[in-house]
Structure 1
Amino acid sequence: MERVPSLGIIVTHSGSTDSGTLFGLLTPYYRQLVERATALGWRCIVFAPRDVLRQRRTIWSWVRGKTGWERQFSDLPDVVYTRLDAPLPDDMAILRWLRSDGDVSFLNQPEVDEITADRWRAIQVLQSHPTLSTVLPDVALLRDELGVTQTHAVVVAPRYSIKRQVGAGYICPDGESLLLRLEESARATTRSYQSARELLEQLSVRFGEVIVEPYVEPLRLETCPLLIRALWQRDRTRQWQETAVMLLLGQAGSVTYQATVVGLLDRLASTLRQVLPHRYDALRYQLTNLGRVTVELLNQRAHGMSELTVDFIVTKVGDVHLHTVSTTSGLASVWKLATPTVAQTVSSHTLAYASTLLEAAASFSELTASAV
């Protein structure tokens, strides 16, 4: 009897089975991915790191049943698709155990999540490439008062992704005081500080470790800052593909580079051509070139990956700055677009590359067996 290949999706549990968001806002996408993979002959499970029972080499997983999601014990999967927004050290230990002791193949190696969860570290890695070093922000860890007592405005944000849900801040001198504007989702608050030490304490409480970078005025549509998000994936031939490039807009007057997806970039090209006359085609080429260099570099440094999101800031004068990288934000933005064809393309690349990993593992096993 032919063995059925298995795919595991590692997520964070965030709701109940009745809520429809058992695995967060992407629960409907995971359901579609599982159903599509099952139709292609995969056995699919969904689980959180804490569901892995290492001593028993089994997983207390979720599977699709006749009436929805159901719990059952499952064997370790052949291939794992990691979808953790902010992996903790204990989570990383589980991922490494699955790889080393469980002989599990990863679409994105654990090192990818480890690098991208730490924005300061990610930028240090990217700065090692001469093409990227000229378009990256001058990010530093905020360790003392000197970091906020500058004559120019700066943006401050959490170093680690686990704290990024608390927003970001903008600091500028205001006479003898320092003005801090905190932005979180659609909310913004402003407060003046007489003491840099007091300001640092506030940032530490809110963000934990803090990174700081000089403020660069972004290109705006009316008063809304503009960012661009590119989702890159590897296909069955292991080649990198720019699956979706999306336009993001921030709140009116926002100064912390937080934004929400509004559409596919090429479908909004006419709007961008109006604000960037004679520059759009060159901009589009530059985005693709920088994105490809980024994914190839991180793929090398992290020992293998298949999916990465790259965010860019377009400045007021039309320059491109590489802002950040992520393993999760691109898929979330694709789902918000509510464009089924794009989501289907993403899942097709995911499953195609999973098949490639499965075939590679089988070939390695055959080679090892023949050598014994």
Structure 2
Amino acid sequence: MNRKSFMVGIHKKSENTMFLPSSMKQNGLLYAAFGTQVARCHISFKKNLERTVLLSENLFHELMIPHRSQANIIIHENTVFIGPLIGIFTAGFTKSLSQPFKERSLFFSKLLTLNLQSGGYCFVFGAHQIQWEHGTIEAYLYRENGWEKKTVPLPNVVYDRLPNRKIEDSVLLQETKQRLINEYQIPWFNPGFFNKWEVHQLLEKDNRTAPFLPQSILHPSVESIDALCKSFETVYIKPANGALGTGIYQLTQSESGLTVKHTNEEKSFTSIEYPNSSAFLAAFEKEHDAASFLVQQGIDLIEFQGRPADFRVHTNKNASGKWDVTAIAVKISGKNSITTHLSNGGTVKTLAELYDDPKERADMIRKLSVAALTVSRVLNEHIEGFIGEIGFDLGIDQAGKVWMFEANSRPGRSIFSHPNLTSVDSLTKRRNFEYASYLSEQAIVAPEKLWP
């Protein structure tokens, strides 16, 4: 098996032939493949080719290769595979080719541009773009002149970028996903949003990760609120499927009663006094289904300039399918805020901005990386499907202990608005394409490793 990167182009003076460098010569090659499209052809070897692979124009079009590009070549058994062909699965399409995904169009254009530098082919698609009877997709590709549509085969691998839980749960999208996985054996990574409580239960049962978890109880009750408020200075109530810091309540017990702070839809903060937890819970249950919330121990976080701070740590699988830490940023709470979320007035800093001492900074990186990689590996062992990236919200208390507040399978990217985090922003995206290439290759040469 060989795997190398080449410029894939067209040879106009031949028919139904693929030309490979003579250094790759081997007998018995009969087929060329691109995505799920396979064509029988003549394989020829040329001495004057080095980092180029050429296909007859009719073969190039039969395989539905959308354009000339740098791509990987994998030779396995009697077939030459060109790729990877990566499909990014999403929803929320418009009829505008200038902004086919509304405000997310810029994000996807940058993502696909980055893939062009990495090699292979990448496109965006949704359930409605698949022509099942032909095994093809009306794909959205981003090129020098902007967005364009091309018909391509079903991909080697799918990178899931569905925007929210509600869309993810739609019957059509779930059926589409299962069909591509089960009928076509296409690896699908980042298969779904995490549920806070389910993740907590998984990690709580494992001795490697249990020490990182704040005490948490599903479905707040008067008894659970009173018990935690008695043990800890602050207590939080959070939605099990929340995002961006919305719907979080901070509870503080005093002799006069219970002080409750929370963020409303306008992102302003309110503080209400209740005589006891029973009065608070009665008011809370008028607005929320308490069964979908959890009550959690508050942590006395380290502070910067008098404001609590925690850390966003990104982990990604790399080209070998192994976990790496790709980004670490500090999130500092906004004025009067109960969380460090940017949407609630928080700010982002780099570790270098807050830790002048290289030794202190290295120690912080080590602590956070050990925790993030440990949790990544444990989640990977217990959650079905292929996970390619996780965004962690980690905290460090005044005693130096690391805590994990949240794990996000579709991590937000607001921290990368910091000008000094641009390079790691690109790295986190590039790792997703590296992992996609790894999955694509494994599905070809060693599928038993992916689906034991």
Equivalent in the alignment of 2:336: 253
Secondary structure at the aligned position of 2:212 is classed as coil
Residues in 2 aligned to 1:19 and 1:254: alpha-carbon distance in whole angstroms: 38
Alignment of 1:286 onto 2:367: yes
**Hey, which of these two has a bigger chunk of strand by percent?**
2
Native 8 Å contact 1:14 1:24 kept in 2: no
Match of 2:216 in 1: 139
CA contact (8 A) 1:232 1:241 kept: yes
> Do 2:269 and 2:336's aligned partners in 1 also have CA atoms closer than 8 Å?
no
The aligned runs of 1:273-312 (5 Å cut-off) are 281-302=362-383, 303-312=385-394
Letter in 1 for 2:393: D
1:200 aligns with 2:280: no
Determine the structure 1 residue equivalent to 2:43: none
Query: Quick check: which one's helix share is greater?
Result: 1
Instruction: Note the 1:216-365 alignment, pairs <5 A.
Output: 216-259=299-342, 260=346, 262-270=348-356, 281-302=362-383, 303-329=385-411, 331-334=413-416, 337=419, 339-364=421-446
What one-letter code is carried by the residue in structure 2 that aligns with 1:140?
I
Matched residues in 2 for 1:84 and 1:325: separation?
A: 17
Cα distance 1:73–1:132, how it changes in 2: closer, same or farther (>3 A)?
A: same
- How many Å separate the matches in 2 of 1:337 and 1:247? 14
Give CA deviations for 1:301-323 in whole Å, capped at 9, x if unaligned: 22432221222112233322111
Q: Which amino acid aligns with 1:135?
A: F
The reply to whether residue 166 of structure 1 matches residue 250 of structure 2 is no
Residue 120, structure 1, aligned to residue 202, structure 2: no
TM-fit CA distance, 1:158: 0.8
Q: What's 2:261 paired with?
A: 181
SS in 2 for 1:329: coil
Q: Give the aligned residue type for 1:166.
A: T
CA distance in 2, matches of 1:16, 1:28: 16
| In 2, Cα distance between equivalents of 1:14 and 1:314 | 41
Q: Is the 8 A contact 2:118 2:433 kept in 1?
A: no
Q: Name the CA distance, whole Å, in 2 between partners of 1:16 and 1:224.
A: 46
Which of structures 1 and 2 has the larger relative contact order (alpha carbons within 8 angstroms, sep 6+)? 1
Please, which runs of 5 or more residues in structure 2 have no aligned partner? 1-17, 19-31, 35-81
- 1:103 corresponds to 2:189: no
Deviation at 1:344, TM superposition (A): 2.8
Q: Give the drift of 1:172.
A: 2.6
Partners of 1:188 and 1:339 lie apart in 2 by: 29
Would the aligned equivalents of 1:225 and 1:254 in 2 still touch at CA under 8 Å?
A: no
Question: Which protein has the larger Cα radius of gyration, Structure 1 or Structure 2?
Answer: 2
Structure 1 contact 126–294 (Cα < 8 Å) conserved: yes
1:212 alignment partner, SS class: strand
SS across alignment from 1:296: helix
Higher mean alpha-carbon deviation, 83-92 vs 123-132, is at 83-92
Moved more, 98-107 or 64-73: 64-73
Question: Is the 2:334–2:347 Cα contact (8 Å) retained in structure 1?
Answer: no
> How many residue pairs align between the two structures?
354
Q: After superposing the two structures, state which structure 1 stretch, 87-96 or 73-82, moved more.
A: 87-96
Counterpart position of 1:212: 295
Give the Å deviation of 1:192.
3.1
Provide TM-score, normalisation by structure 2. Answer: 0.67
Q: In the alignment, which residue of structure 2 is the partner of 1:370? A: none
